[in-house]
Structures are given as structure tokens and as C-alpha cells.
Structure 1
Amino acid sequence: MRLTRFEDLAVVPWRNGGGVTREVAARRDAGAGSDFLWRLSIATVNADGPFSSFVGTDRTIAVLAGRGIALRLPDRTVPVTDDSEPFSFAGEAPVHASVMDGETTDLNAMTRRGWFTHRMRRLHQNGTFSIAGVAAETVVVFGGRTVVEGLGDPLAADRFDALVGIAPGQRITVRPEPDAPTYLIEFFRSRGEQKDSKERPETPMS
């Protein structure tokens, strides 16, 4: 388990110039034939434009800051705002994003279908509460300044910092500042996952 500071994450510009991405964590497999089996990132979007296509991937997005974005899919338009629940969709679906009002910061989870599934939840509890690891990989992203206990000495996490690598059976206690949501992202191994794969530890994407 480690605390990842948002300010330390590498910034990668989008090819279309519409924003930048910071990778929080990822799981890769040399024998799976893909860049990642799962990936969690934070994107800052400042212009309208299409989402990149990720064939065979499932995605979930939540707005961390800013008014939000409107996602235009083939059959509907979905507003994703800072007070709406995370929205899930297929990575290969053609999606055009329109920024509602100025810059927005988004949390993005992706899993390669057949290898991992994921669940993203926005936790609104005030006061002190506990989070237990039940998935193969669990990541917590903090929406505001938060005190984290259960790792030895208490840690002070700032906005958009992340606690990565919460294993099954591990438990942490968090005390966020009032009205600061906590984002819980869980990555579950799929039953059909190949058993002879050689997984590599997290490394930054190029």
C-alpha cells in the first residue's frame, strides 16, 4: 500500500490538445497483448472533442472538479457532473465530450474485458469511516484533504491524492474534510482470466 501524490504524477498531453492525463496506477501483462489489464487515471479536460477508442475495454468516469461534461453517445447524451454518480460505458463506443463550463477534472477507470472488471463508487460520508479491501486491487482517491489511518503513523492526503494497492483483507480508516467525497475503485479478476500470464508491476504509460 502506498500514497500517491497528485502533484507527482506525470502529465501526458492529449494528441488532440483538448487536455492532459495523469496515470494514477495500472496493471500490465506482457503476455496479454495490451497496454494494460486495468488502468486508473485523472484527466483535465479544457476543450470539446472525441474520446479515444479502447476496443475490448470497459470504462467508468466521474467528475472530480469543474461543472462537468456532456457525453454524446450514439443513442443518447449523458451529463456527468461533480454531483452525479460515476458513469460506465464500453471503451469502443464512439463518444464525444462537451465541456459544460470551463475546465473539468475527471477520474477514469478502465479494465480489459475478460481479464478484469471494476466498480467505482463515490462515498459521501462525513466524519470517520473505514474502507476494507475485498477486490484483487483497490484504490482510493481523495476528493479533499483527508487523514488516513491504519498504515502506522497517520498520513495527510491532499485533494486528488490516491492510496494504491489495498489488498484483500486490509483495512484503512479515513477522516475527510467536510463534504469532500472519497472515491473507491475496485478491480476484480474475471473468471475467464488466463492463468498462465506473467503480470508486471505498475509502470507509467508512454
Structure 2
Amino acid sequence: MHILKADSYRRTPWKNGGGETSEIAVHPEGAGFDDFSWRVSMARVAADGPFSAFPGIDRTLSVLEGKGIALDIDGRDPVVLTADSEPLRFAADATTFGRLVDGPISDLNVMTRRGRFDHRVTRRDVDGRIMLVVSGASLLFCAGPELQLAAEGVAERLGPWDAALFEGPARSVAVEGNGRLLVVELRDID
């Protein structure tokens, strides 16, 4: 279990230059926009605008805070995504335009390179204690306010927007508290 603190995330400009992203984790480590296999990041979206295009990439977007965003993906009817919506998966090379519902939002963005990795993002609301089994590469992201994790005799506290990265064989993780957890599962398909 590798704990990733929100205040240590690497900040980089968006690919289209329209804002800034906080990189939580990337594989391989140190990879850029053109050579990552998978990438998990957060962004603050303060204005309407086009999404960066990533050829050959699939993405899942989850709203963390704010009233929401309406996404126009390849000219289809807009999809409104809020903090209470299920994470939305779509092609990162689709022409996508976002319109804020009512003010800025913060979001979690998970991307995988087609043909090399795949991913799944699920939202879990925790009220008490739950048990999860993680395997391969998995990232547990605390959407707030605070959660306790315990795995293999090690206990850690996750504050808002902190994460825990797991890699390797399957293991059980106890999650305790009252908050929201986003579970990111990353699967190598090579």
C-alpha cells in the first residue's frame, strides 16, 4: 500500500493549455501524455470549453465537487455529470465539450491506453466498515471527508483527495469511516 497525499501531486498544464491537472499516479512512472499506459489525475474546471483529445485512450470522469458539468460527446445529447452521478466512461479521442452547470467543478480523470490497459471506476459510499479485495494495480481515492484503510497489518488515514495505490497479488482492504471512496481498477491486457 503506497499512500499518495493530495499536497504532493505533480501539477502539469492540460494538454490543450486550458487549465492545470494534478497527476496522482501514472504508469510507467514519469510517462508523459504520449507514452503513458494509464494515468489518474484531478482537475479544477473553471470555465466551459473543449476537452483535450487523447488518441487511442479511454477515460472515465467523476465529479468530486461543484454543481456538475454537461458533456457534449461527439455531438450526442449532453450528459450531465454531478458528484452523485456514477463515473462516466467515454473515448478520450471523441470530440468533447464541457459546459459547467453552475460554477466550477473538481473532477477525477482516469485514462488507459487502448490495447494495453483497461480500467473500471466505481463509487463506494462508506458508512461504517466495508471490505474490498484489490489486485493488480488498484487505486483507492478518498473523495472526502476522511477514511481509514487497513491492509496486511498496516493502517493508514486518507484525507480528502488522498489515495492509496496497490500493485501485485490480491489482498483484502478494510475501509472505515463515513465518506466517499472511488475505486480505480487498472488491468494490463497485453
Query: Is the TM-score greater than 0.5?
Result: yes
TM-score of the aligned structures, taking structure 1 as reference length: 0.83
* Runs of 5+ unmatched residues, structure 1: 194-206
Structure that is richer in strand per residue: 2
Whichever residue aligns with residue 48 of structure 2, its letter is D
Matched with 2:147 is: 146
How many residue pairs get aligned? The number is 186
TM-score of the aligned structures, taking structure 2 as reference length: 0.90
Per-residue deviation, residues 19-67 of structure 1 (Å, max 9, x unmatched): 321111111399xx94201111111111111001111111100011111
- Is 1:128–2:129 an aligned residue pair? yes
Matched with 2:112 is: 111
* Conserved? CA contact 2:137–2:167, under 8 Å: yes
Shift of 1:85: 0.3
The share of aligned pairs that are identical, in percent, is: 35
- Cα distance in 1 between the residues matched to 2:155 and 2:24: 21
- Cα distance in 2 between the residues matched to 1:108 and 1:147: 23
Matched with 1:197 is: none
* Runs of 5+ unmatched residues, structure 2: none
> 1:1-206 alignment to 2 at 5 Å?
1-14=1-14, 18-28=18-28, 34-73=34-73, 74-134=75-135, 136-144=136-144, 145-177=146-178, 180-190=179-189, 193=190
* Conserved? CA contact 1:61–1:107, under 8 Å: yes
Superposed CA RMSD in Å reads 2.0
Shift of 1:18: 4.2
